[in-house]
Amino acid sequence: ATVFYEEFLEYKVDKKPAEEYELLMHWAEDLKLHNNFELLDEKEYRNKRTDIDNLIASIENDPFDMGTASPFKERLMDKFQKGQEENGLNMAVVLFMQGALSYFKDLPTEKIKAIALEIAMLGTDGIRPGRDDYKLNAFPGKIFSGYQMLAWYYVSFKLALPEIVDQLGLNYEKEYEMAEKLNTAK
């Protein structure tokens, strides 16, 4: 508590407007509470989708809500990407991608696209690599791990919607190349 109070006193001396939010987030990270909430811009929050016409238009224009900035999702994605950079090539993802490529090999593009969109819907709240309880309607009875789901997500978009794959925020280009090489070497 004294550390927090001392930090508050430092901020108090040369406080800039809205700096208290930065302090709050810093304390939340120190207490490991930062995943339990997110701070939103008040004006943006109050004006967001206030009438039904704007709501419908925003859903039609961005059905998966990929264009909406979320500080919480951005922090999670930054943390995930930094971890990926530190780990280098993720061989588990390569093997999961290899399985996805084998499965998708004989499927029509429309079926792959349907699976990609189902995974995208599942991923609107984020896909956590550490979880192991993801399910898809396209695969009744099958349970996917987080990394497996991310691999299938990337591969399905790469095959069916390649123009969107860069917007997924997954840096799996090297893993995908390796999985393709392994599949062609069979």
Q: What is the pLDDT of residue 75?
A: 66
Q: What is the pLDDT of residue 104?
A: 96
Q: Cα-Cα-Cα-Cα dihedral of 37, 43, 49, 50, to 10°?
A: 120
CB distance 104 to 159 below 8 Å: yes
Q: What is the pLDDT of residue 69?
A: 62
Q: What is the pLDDT of residue 7?
A: 83
Give the pLDDT confidence of 47-73 residue by residue, as tens digits: 665 677 777 887 787 776 666 666 655
Largest CA distance in the chain: 66
CA separation for the pair 173, 93 (Å, rounded)? 11
Q: What is the pLDDT of residue 115?
A: 96
CA separation for the pair 32, 123 (Å, rounded)? 24
Tokens 């349907």 belong to which residue? Answer: 114
CA separation for the pair 171, 65 (Å, rounded)? 20
Low-confidence residues in the chain, pLDDT < 70? 45, 47-50, 64-88, 186
Q: What is the pLDDT of residue 86?
A: 63
Q: What is the pLDDT of residue 70?
A: 63
Q: Where are the domains of the chain?
A: 1-37, 81-185
Q: What is the pLDDT of residue 52?
A: 76
Q: What is the pLDDT of residue 119?
A: 94
